[in-house]
Amino acid sequence: MCQTSKALWFVPLLLALHAASARAQTTVPVSVITQYNGLYFYVDSHSYNVSQQFQWAPGSTHTLGVLSPQYSCGGKYTFTGWSTGGPMMQTVTAPASPVTYMANYSIEYGLTLAVSPASAGTVTPSIVRPENYYPSGTILQVTATPAAGYEFVGWTGEYSGTANPLTIQMNGFRAVTAIFHKIGAPTVTVTTNPPGYPVFGDQVQGPGPQSFDWAAGSTHTISTQSVIQVSDSSRYVFSSWSDAGPLSHAITAGSAPSLYTANLLAQVKLSITTSPPAAGTITLSQGSDGWLDQASSVALTAVPAPGYRFAGWSGDSSTKDNPFQLLMDTAHNITANFVPAAACSLTFRRPGTSLASFGDTGRIDVVADAQCPWAASSDAGWFKLTAASGTGNGAMQYAAEANASGQPRTAHIQLSSGSTYSIVQAAYGCGFQLDSGSLTVAADGGPFASVVGGTPNCRWSASAAPDWITVVSGEGQSGGSLHFTVAPNSGGPRTGSVVVAGQTLKILQKGPATPVSFTDVTSAHPFFDYIQLLNRQIPNAGCTASTFCPDAPTTRSQMAVWIIQSLFGDSFSFSAAPYFSDVPSSHPQFRYIQKMKDLGITSGCTLSTYCPNDAVTRGQMAAFLMRARMGVPSGQSFPYPASAYFSDVPAADLFFSYIQKLREAGITNGCSAAAYCAEEPTTRGQMAVFVVRTFFTP
């Protein structure tokens, strides 16, 4: 009954910001997990079997290891590799950005065959495997053969009924017992599943199976206990009878041997505490009394009391996820730790933005200490917030209505910390356009200007982020110039932006000297800096450990990996049942593609397939990126510039709205001065530029 489940780490359905804070950090969060919950791994000589999160100093070394094979809940788990590569036992160097190390496994499930009573017959499988472990999904038959003087009655355990041979599918641990009846012996057998627990036949009690010699046509009462306590932390509860009767019910003995099985459900105890005791509470998604079905999953949510914030879990897990998804493979002890809220640092990632008059849909990023709770509110009815609360780094979605007034208007978003985000929307009928959508700046920085064209006599306002970009003249009329300065850069390449009425100028500033990460991408490569930035944010972004393959087409499966890792890192929940026939659960990018469908970023290439190996066209790329960036699922409309930016993408084009939005956001200028080339494949080098500008540029 115990089955180790796929690791599903709950995250809020926000477009959570995974990029590191711009503030200097002395440590980075590092998560170590196994593909299937409940398996043991080692970090710096300490063993764990629940996900752990550590704070490691960049450059420090640590040891990782696993045991293989491992046996858990009737399954045999054989190590196949780390998500980041490397041998089973290895020394790793902590990176400068958050990373997740996941140990991956192949699975075989155990089959236990038994007979009752002993020596009354045999059970033979059609396929014989070492240790009776079978690869997941194996289908086999087992045949019950009675000994002399006995006859077969039926099956109990994972299967019931009288089919012989019995067909079994190995999608989990299977324990099956063949029940035989001695010819001429008692006619009714009563047992439990698993066997050995109390059953009652009228007033006779004993461990199942029990046999009774009842005359055909006579009526009797069978029952079992509703709760069977095994220990302080484990028990069985009555689930059902094989004949669908209640806990205690009457049966009529027949003329042929019959079998009645009481199915019992294994439960284990979850013990929860808070520290300090009065600093908060823990809510459970199920099992309010702490008793939970074995192998089930429960979400624990830490709720701070006023004046406190959640700091992380301890006991059987050290993760800081909140809510925290826990597999009840065995009894667990978990403590929620809280600290005074005064220690919380909370602000917006940028000070504000400037919107077009026709409205917009997008997100506002929040930078917060780990596990720091936050909430935001708007002072304007035309600027609506969705999911305006969270914990730690995160994002809220917004929808701005069109401005019907002949004057610009302003809204303010305020965090609970007092930080304010300002939004200025252009007046009705006023449209603007920057003379460029992107700018590359040398490491020494300097003053820059951009001409703001648009509707005559209309006023605009500008905002910039991060703080190494300073707007000198942040307001003006169409036809005027926007002036800003870029501070010198002594580190690696970095990105920022300036926004004018929804039009975005993406700025890439080079570093004085950037180490080469890939042998096929030299510093002279046109996408060098973006590829370096992508690899900094998404570990193992290359096509191999040492190459990036910048000219190779980006496949739809690779696109899924980069988008989901940009949003969530490598820890996120996803639907377990496959959406697409060509992406089974064994597919290496299964969980990323599932999450894409969960979020509505994709609906597949057909109704039932995803086409994971197909190249991503520039049109598809626009749809994928803008749906993910704005939090808008496939089929949902959003505001976008009506006047076409590109001569080869008319308003009737399937991807018109997404391409318009992509250009407005400064993510692309097209494949030429006037064209977009929507049908062309997107190379991995081009995709690095688009992903960095979409997700990792303020």
Where residue 466 sits, what CATH number does that domain have? 2.60.40.10
- The pLDDT score that the predictor gives to residue 166 is 95
Max CA-CA distance within the chain? 104
Q: Indicate if 566 and 552 belong to the same structural domain.
A: yes
Tokens of 428: 């009705």
Tokens of 486: 């870029």
- pLDDT tens per residue, range 238-289: 999 999 999 999 999 988 888 999 999 999 999 999 999 999 999 998 888 8
- Kindly indicate the confidence band of residue 576, based on its pLDDT and cuts at 50, 70 and 90: confident
Residue 350 is assigned to a structural domain of this protein = no
d(CA 28, CA 44): 17
Q: Indicate if 252 and 144 belong to the same structural domain.
A: no
- Answer yes or no: are the C-beta atoms of 207 and 191 closer than 8 Å: no
- Kindly indicate the confidence band of residue 186, based on its pLDDT and cuts at 50, 70 and 90: low
Residue 101 has φ and ψ, to the nearest 5°, of: -100, 115
- The pLDDT score that the predictor gives to residue 185 is 65
- The pLDDT score that the predictor gives to residue 541 is 85
Distances (CA, A) of 527 to 232, 344, 545, 558, 679: 61, 38, 18, 18, 21
Q: Indicate if 544 and 679 belong to the same structural domain.
A: yes
Label residues 612-629 b or e (16+ Cβ within 10 Å = b).
beebbbbbbbbbbbbbbb
Tokens of 639: 């505001």
Q: Indicate if 688 and 540 belong to the same structural domain.
A: yes
Residue 474 is assigned to a structural domain of this protein = yes
| pLDDT at 1 exceeding the cut of 70 | no
d(CA 456, CA 463): 21
- The pLDDT score that the predictor gives to residue 8 is 36
Residue 594 is assigned to a structural domain of this protein = yes
Q: Indicate if 167 and 40 belong to the same structural domain.
A: yes
- Kindly indicate the confidence band of residue 229, based on its pLDDT and cuts at 50, 70 and 90: very high
- Kindly indicate the confidence band of residue 6, based on its pLDDT and cuts at 50, 70 and 90: very low
- pLDDT tens per residue, range 613-639: 999 999 999 999 999 998 888 888 899
Residue 519 is assigned to a structural domain of this protein = no
Q: Say which DSSP state 342 is in.
A: G
Number of independent structural domains in the chain: 4
Q: Indicate if 602 and 683 belong to the same structural domain.
A: yes
List the beta bridge partners of residue 283. Answer: 301
Question: Could you identify the residue written with the tokens 């956001």?
Answer: 665
d(CA 560, CA 563): 5
Residue 471 is assigned to a structural domain of this protein = yes
Q: Indicate if 603 and 640 belong to the same structural domain.
A: yes
Beta strand 258-275 pairing with 332-340 = parallel
Tell me which of 136, 167, 182 is where a domain ends.
182
CA atoms within 13 Å, Cβ hemisphere of 316: 22
Q: Indicate if 216 and 100 belong to the same structural domain.
A: no
Of all residues in the chain, the percent with pLDDT exceeding 70 is 95
Residue 602 is assigned to a structural domain of this protein = yes
Quote the domain boundaries for residue 539: 528-695
Q: Indicate if 462 and 325 belong to the same structural domain.
A: no
Please state the rounded mean pLDDT for residues 674-689. 94
Residue 619 is assigned to a structural domain of this protein = yes
Q: Indicate if 211 and 307 belong to the same structural domain.
A: yes
| Nearest alpha carbon to residue 113 among 188, 173, 189, 198 | 173
Residue 201 is assigned to a structural domain of this protein = yes
Predicted TM-score (pTM) of this structure? 0.56
| pLDDT at 612 exceeding the cut of 90 | yes
